[in-house]
Structure 1
Amino acid sequence: MQGHRVHSASRRFFKRLGFSSAMAVFFGCVLGLLVYLRAPQHGAVRGESSGWGPSGLVEGARDWLEGLERRTYDWRVLELGARSERPDEAVVVAIDDETLAEARQDDRPGVATQPWPRQLVGAMAHRLVEEGALLVLLDLPFPELSPNACVNPKLSPGAISSDDSAFRELLERESGKALLSFSWESQGSRVMPPTSRLWPYRVKVGTFPSSSEAHARAQSVLAVQRPAYVMPAGSQVEVWGAATDEADARELGSRLGVPGAAIEERRASDDTFRMGPTDLFVALAEVHVEGLDPARLVEVRQLQHPVAPLLGGGAGYGAATLSADPDGVVRGIPHLVAYTARDGRHVLPSLPLAAAMRLANTRVLRYAAGRLHVGDVYSVPMDASGFSLMRWDAPTAGRGSRGSLSRSIRAWNVLLNVFDVADERPARFDNDLEGRTVVLTRTAGESGHLRHTPIGVETPGGAILGQALANILRSEGISRAPEDYDLGLTVGLAFLGAFLALSLSFLLRSVRGVLLYLSGLGLAGAGYTAAAFYFFIEQRLWVAMAGPLLAMVGAFAVTTVYAFRNEQQIRDFVQMALGRYVSPEVARLVTRDLSLMRPERRRMSVYVCDIEGFARLSEGMKPEQLVSLFNEYLLEMAAVVRSTAGQVDKYIGDSVMAFWGAPVRTERHAHLACEAALKMRAVLADKQDAWEKKYGCRLSFRAGVDTGEVVVGDMGSELKSNYTVLGDAVGLAARLESLNKVYGTYVLVGDGTVLLAGDNYVFREVDRVRMKGRAEPLRVHELMGRKGELSTQQQEQLALHAQALTAYHQRHFAEAHALFERSAITFKDPVSSVYMARCARYIVTAPPSDWDGVHGEDDVPSTPAAA
């Protein structure tokens, strides 16, 4: 191989080894870094920055990779849900569309209005506890004072006119059994309390030994829409209420049950101890967590908490906010968030976490080794930002309000029980709530109550809270592998991909080898996927899949390209050696797959054409002109064959033989052969004027196409070989080419070609011929053109020809003669002229009674057999 350096196999191996190692380091480090810098799972803003972070293109690539990773996570979640049982620890009581429809038709006071009076909601919570519920989680907002008044004195003891007071009284009857929800936002500006300059006086409303008692008294001040001041006084705590003047201060003291209380002017230093509704709420709701840095929690900017009259009274508080990932899917819940007030940062719990603390009868939370411990009873996986991935105990949310939980109950059933008991009748529904926690939620009206989760695009928010509570009560959840762990896996798989490409590159020399080569990569990827799936299902551990697999595929692909190019010198040598006897296309295929040289039977399409009147043409031209014209003609014909993925077999004088379907297999070989015939006619039409001007003649050709089973492969002797075909289809194609002279046609095809290509091309039956040596007659067809491209005249010609041919085969020769004559005159159709002569003969001498319309072999011209 002149002009090329051929390195030894060992040297080529070490070159590939060095390159593959470099690619493994590149893909492992790049994708590993993106995996390591993964975005927060819930997309919220962290409390503090690590000092550096990705930006621009790196951030976009990281987010794209994390999006792919979330898809693999969702697949694993669904598979885990299919292996789980729906939990029954939590039950959803849903204010759904059916409940509201029933309520609109009810005549009891307040039932038909929305929202319901809070007295009804409180009565429902009280009833749920009486039916055995351990806790009632009210996933309903109460951020403003109720616009309603009490609607049913039977539901609340005593003469209570305020809806909020009635609601709080009902909650106090079940102290410790009810939890109110609040919501938060991590974006936007912080809402500041009203200015203190409106309250120049303060009145003392009590002195208490502890902050908890002081907070209860401060709530009574806040309930009448006044700021409160909680001020230390030695070992005790004083509570003061704000007033506009001294008369207002005396009135406030009397209203709160302390007539004659001390009144003082407000000092500027008093604002340090001022307590608004939000301050009181934070003091009541906050929790303390050992082992967790509050600075790493999600920093919330705004709180939407229950209105001041509802604060206290033994109720618990928890956030019902569900944070979605950047793709809008809720995959977990932030159990802890941080809120910064004047006196520092406070940690607030989620509603499921607050419920678990009540059920465990503890206020102690401890974070250690990636798990949040609720006392010594429960624990749940949680990251340092307070976010916990949820385990979904069902593969789909299904219909209704239960989500992934075992049960849900219509709120209307509970409300009817409330009315039955109030009217001293037995409750009509047995809701089976003994020992279970209830989530009272709304699923009707607003789409915001339905969230997109891995198990469904419309999962009720209350059901999500119930599933999160079930996770805590079962001490289950999903843990995500640490960033450095995923980084190590990504680098490791990058080296695995490079190793596979390096060690299996010898398989690229054949089609079967390429399949095995790619199968190696597929098996490695499937193995890692199975391992990641196992850890997720059995260990509840989410390890990265997208980044490591992409690193493996990237290193594998680049190493493969390099190895392929590194062997280009060897392939060039093979092509040069084989190219002396076979076409370069075949040589390239043989280089990759030597089995192509072995003969095999295959269904293919064969094409034979020659120049019409070539012998006459060659006699009147100079040899140089003849060869030049012939070379240009063959060049154009070969280009058309190659453009349609065909193989030029050989040139025999002025004849060209080509085939489709080998070496590259295709099921459209008949289509391609027909397309080549049409393109050849178009090319000749374009070249006629130039050839006539240059050589003084015009060319036309006749062609035959047939489809059938042939033997294809490399055939010949040691001195000369050729990749060619043998079989009946070759001879029939040659015979069809010869039959064009009988009918005056240009392209005739056999039945097999029409059967495969009839969906895209238009053919007309020309004749039925019984060939020599064949028992069955052959239907001969003419290729007319592509479907949808025939002119109106051609369509009329086809219709008339079909009508005439039908009459001919029905022995209506006079009618057929007239129709063929009309076609011959109108369309200058030579085939019709042939049939006119036959019909004239049959009109005079009718064919025998067993005549089948097949033209006898004696009328078929003899042609040389095609090899």
Structure 2
Amino acid sequence: MASDAGRILRLRLRNHLALMVGMAVAATAVAAGSWKLGLLWLPNLERILYDSALTRFTHRQGVSSDIVVLAIDQPSLERVRNNPTYARNFGNYPWTRNLWAHVVDELAYRGAKAVLFDMVMDERSTDPSTDESFAQAVRDTGMPFYLGMSAHPSTPPFPKVDPVHVPRALTPPRPLPAQAPGQDAAPQQAEEFEEQEDPSQAPTDPIETAKVLAFPVKTNGRELPLLEYEPTPGLRVPSHIVPPLPVLLPEAGGFGLVEVEPDPDGSMRRTRFAYSDGVNPFVTLPVALAADLFGAKELEFSGRTMRLGSREFQVNEDGSAEIDFGGTLYQRFPLVPVADVLDSWGLRQEGKAGRKEDLEVLRGKIVVVGGLALGLADQKSTPFMALTPGVSKQVAVLDNLLAGRFITETPFWVSVLFGLGLALFSSVLLMTLRRPVLEFVWLLGIVPVVFMGVGVCLALGRVHPLAALPAAAGLLSSLGATASNHLFANREALFIREAFSRYMEPKLIEQMIEESELPRLDGEEREITAFFSDIRGFSSFSESFRDNPRMLVSVLNRYLTRVSSALLYEGGCLDKYIGDAVVCLFGAPVNHSDHAVRACKGALAVQTAVERLREEFREKNLPDVYTRIGINTARLFVGNFGSDQLFDYTAMGDGMNLASRLEGANKAYGSLIMIGPRTYELAKDSIEVRELDQVRVAGKKEAVRVYELLALRGELSSEKRETVNRYHEALALYRLRRFSEASIVLDTQLSRAPQDGPTAALLKRCQEYAETPPPPEWDGVTSLDKS
């Protein structure tokens, strides 16, 4: 059965492969074109699938061992506001910069490795001394300090420069000496500045500023993205760098852009590493810090590779990369409230050292300062959270730089190839198996299949093949295959109407079509009942028409019409005529569960029709006709068989051969309808039979019981039942080798029913064995010759 099913699949694949491939190619082309043009909602679907796969498959356990977030959280805002000393010295948020001077001092004391400020400081304070206080703290502690910078369309561009970056060694910082308790550094420094020119007001050379802010980027022919601003949808204007406070320019380890870089839906998923204002190149803030960490003199792009000092990263074709968040900000990074660091600094100044372990998490770490409080209006969206502090992006990018990997998109052709493979698999799967349930399940399952594939790529390789394009290709190909299957089904229905109209009752054909029970014309295995009939002595019958062959054809046609009508009435399918022989199938192509009973009813109806025909023939002085019938039930392979020029719907298998042998065996037993054991087993509750014998078919070792079909259940006459009972009695004696006793029983009954052929046949055999006993190994089985 498995080999038959495999043959069917191979035939379908061979016959429709060109259509399957064409359908897959067309579906992939439509999907690829729609992706390029932004049609079919593919960009939105892509973002949804990517976000789901990213959060499900790339979520990592544990917190970073390299980065700590110094949080400007709501409790810190309240603690500064509610502390009279803090409120007097630092004001409300945004705090004066001498607060950050103390924070930098304390971070140096706690052994922080470097500080990255996710903020910009491009406006001078109302008290310039606080700006200098901050710059002085950075200078005196030696803290590697990296500050954000922004761009704006109203800012004039810097002149073009040849930027040079000398990597700064991230040496351990040194804390400032403790001051007198309660004394703030700002007033002393303010007095000093009263005697000098305000450094924040000092003119700054644009060329020198550009040299500090710009970063050498080697693009190897790739154009850097421009800094742009979109005041209204569709209108983009160039932006230029807003320079940070001049007092901070010589003190900071580096400056970098803090662009949000949202996708069209506003969510942060990817980052660029360098931008241009149309004149000079500038790097992002995490790159500015990583450049010193990796000893980089320049940032270099080459194909899908980015080099930064000692590190090499895979990037997308446009120089961007997708961020491997690994989880939410709160799951991935230790968070320290800025108020804790400020309190620790205050206690140390008063000589009241707090618990050392409270801030030990800062030692040797890169500290990223960013706002977490909702009131700071710095809430963005990432795949992991609908609203998360904007610092999440900067921290995640820095973490990816330190880990040496980002998520990168596969080349477009890989996604197209993925889509083509899925589309081809879909068309082959649905057009070979042709299961309506499978069509429905597969249509629902394509997106989950693509989702799992993308998830595995993200988890194992940190690569992102497109999901929406292959999903669209698979769905379009599946819809095409489903439509094609229904078209084939309609064609098959039309073919079945035409092909079976001469072999089956029209109502059965329509029932088969309406119930979607179309036969598999390319073959299938099922249990059916085969019917064979033949005219006894047809050679002698036809000899009588030797001088009038036209009459022979007319008589034979009348006979075949009567036999065929009786069989069609019971739901049979006429297989073929072989001269005077009729071959009929029950249970195929219509899958009748009672096919054995129908075949028996059809055989009895044929006998009744032939009896009437005999009477008609006698009245017209035509030769007499008798019909012998063989019926057998078995699992047979049914379908269209033949050549390219001629084929027909029929059945093949040993079961068909046995049905033919049973028809011929009637001659030896004097019976008219002989049925096989499986037919008897399925129909025994509906029929009356006589067990004739155990027979062995030529070429087979196993013996089978055969039966004579006599009537439908309850329609057997009492005289015939008595004959059957005596026959069974004699058959039992026969099998016990008591041939003489069996002969007596049979002879007595034959005198009462002289026309009973099986009684006469068994009597003759018993008499022969009584005179010449069979050999000792005789098992009571009769062998049927091939003839």
Which TM-score band applies after superposition, normalised by the shorter structure?
0.5 to 0.7
Distance 1:305 1:334 in 2: 20
* Aligned match for 2:145, one of 178, 184, 188: 178
Question: Which letter maps to 1:348?
Answer: F
- Determine if contact 1:574/1:591 at 8 Å carries over to the other structure: no
* Aligned match for 2:281, one of 342, 347, 350: 347
- Determine if contact 1:32/1:488 at 8 Å carries over to the other structure: no
Question: Which letter maps to 2:351?
Answer: E
* Aligned match for 1:588, one of 483, 497, 514: 514
- Determine if contact 1:28/1:495 at 8 Å carries over to the other structure: no
* Aligned match for 2:341, one of 406, 411, 414: 414
**Shift of the alpha carbon at 1:449?**
1.6
- Determine if contact 2:9/2:432 at 8 Å carries over to the other structure: no
How does 1:86-125 map onto structure 2 within 5 Å? 86-108=63-85, 109-125=88-104
Distance 1:21 1:713 in 2: 39
Question: Which letter maps to 1:562?
Answer: S
* Aligned match for 1:481, one of 399, 410, 415: 410
- Determine if contact 1:316/1:354 at 8 Å carries over to the other structure: yes
Pair 1:136-2:115 in alignment:
yes
- Determine if contact 2:407/2:464 at 8 Å carries over to the other structure: yes
How does 1:220-619 map onto structure 2 within 5 Å? 280-293=208-221, 295-300=223-228, 301-340=239-278, 345-376=279-310, 378-394=311-327, 397=328, 402-428=329-355, 430-432=358-360, 433-446=362-375, 448-505=377-434, 513-516=435-438, 529-572=451-494, 580-581=506-507, 587-591=513-517
Q: How many residues align?
A: 475
Distance 1:9 1:527 in 2: 23
**Structure 2 partner of 1:27:** 27
Question: Which letter maps to 1:183?
Answer: S
Question: Which letter maps to 2:20?
Answer: S
Distance 2:466 2:66 in 1: 32
Change (3 A) 1:563 1:431: same
Distance 2:42 2:403 in 1: 32
Distance 2:221 2:253 in 1: 27
Distance 1:445 1:524 in 2: 40
**Structure 1 partner of 2:47:** 70
Distance 2:456 2:309 in 1: 31
Question: Which letter maps to 2:515?
Answer: L
Distance 1:136 1:256 in 2: 26
**Structure 2 partner of 1:701:** none
Question: Which letter maps to 1:130?
Answer: Y
SS of 2:381 mapped into structure 1: strand
Change (3 A) 1:426 1:524: closer
SS of 1:567 mapped into structure 2: helix
Distance 1:97 1:523 in 2: 46
Change (3 A) 1:112 1:585: farther
Among the aligned pairs, what percent are the same residue?
19
Change (3 A) 1:121 1:373: same
- Determine if contact 2:54/2:383 at 8 Å carries over to the other structure: yes
Change (3 A) 1:80 1:111: same
Question: Which letter maps to 2:218?
Answer: E
Distance 2:73 2:155 in 1: 33
Q: Root-mean-square deviation (CA), in Å?
A: 4.1
Distance 1:278 1:81 in 2: 45
Distance 2:464 2:268 in 1: 16
- Determine if contact 1:136/1:440 at 8 Å carries over to the other structure: yes
Change (3 A) 1:583 1:483: closer
**Structure 2 partner of 1:145:** 124
The CA deviation string for residues 259-301 of structure 1, in whole angstroms up to 9 with x for no partner, is xxxxxxxxxxxxxxxx967654432122223354462434442
**Shift of the alpha carbon at 1:412?**
0.6
Distance 1:318 1:286 in 2: 9
Question: Which letter maps to 2:26?
Answer: F
The CA deviation string for residues 556-585 of structure 1, in whole angstroms up to 9 with x for no partner, is 221331232133132246579688547967
Distance 2:11 2:512 in 1: 29
Distance 2:121 2:31 in 1: 47
Distance 1:365 1:13 in 2: 54
How does 1:767-782 map onto structure 2 within 5 Å? none
The CA deviation string for residues 42-92 of structure 1, in whole angstroms up to 9 with x for no partner, is xxxxxxxxxxxxxxxx3444xx21221222221221133334433221111
SS of 1:306 mapped into structure 2: coil
Distance 1:77 1:317 in 2: 30
- Determine if contact 2:144/2:253 at 8 Å carries over to the other structure: yes
**Shift of the alpha carbon at 1:325?**
0.7
The CA deviation string for residues 358-405 of structure 1, in whole angstroms up to 9 with x for no partner, is 2224323333452322211x34333354422111222xx2xxxx4342
Question: Which letter maps to 1:346?
Answer: N
SS of 1:416 mapped into structure 2: helix
- Determine if contact 1:292/1:384 at 8 Å carries over to the other structure: no
- Determine if contact 1:182/1:317 at 8 Å carries over to the other structure: yes
Question: Which letter maps to 2:255?
Answer: Y
Question: Which letter maps to 2:25?
Answer: V
**Shift of the alpha carbon at 1:134?**
0.7
**Structure 2 partner of 1:658:** none
**What 5-or-longer segments of structure 1 have no aligned partner?**
1-7, 38-57, 150-161, 195-209, 214-253, 258-274, 506-512, 599-711, 722-867
Change (3 A) 1:592 1:163: farther
**Shift of the alpha carbon at 1:541?**
1.1
**What 5-or-longer segments of structure 2 have no aligned partner?**
1-7, 167-195, 229-238, 528-591, 603-787
Distance 2:379 2:491 in 1: 63
TM-score (norm 1): 0.49
Distance 1:385 1:277 in 2: 34
Distance 2:332 2:314 in 1: 20
SS of 2:437 mapped into structure 1: helix
- Determine if contact 2:165/2:298 at 8 Å carries over to the other structure: no
**Shift of the alpha carbon at 1:28?**
1.6
Question: Which letter maps to 1:380?
Answer: F
- Determine if contact 1:392/1:404 at 8 Å carries over to the other structure: no
- Determine if contact 2:114/2:145 at 8 Å carries over to the other structure: yes
Larger Cα-atom Rg: 2
How does 1:585-664 map onto structure 2 within 5 Å? 587-591=513-517
**Shift of the alpha carbon at 1:306?**
1.8
Question: Which letter maps to 1:541?
Answer: V
Question: Which letter maps to 2:326?
Answer: D
The CA deviation string for residues 423-472 of structure 1, in whole angstroms up to 9 with x for no partner, is 33324563121110001112224464221101111222223212211111
Question: Which letter maps to 1:20?
Answer: M
The CA deviation string for residues 199-237 of structure 1, in whole angstroms up to 9 with x for no partner, is xxxxxxxxxxx9999xxxxxxxxxxxxxxxxxxxxxxxx
Distance 1:86 1:575 in 2: 71
Distance 2:349 2:444 in 1: 68
Distance 1:326 1:348 in 2: 23
TM-score (norm 2): 0.54
Question: Which letter maps to 1:191?
Answer: T
- Determine if contact 1:19/1:559 at 8 Å carries over to the other structure: no
**Shift of the alpha carbon at 1:97?**
0.7
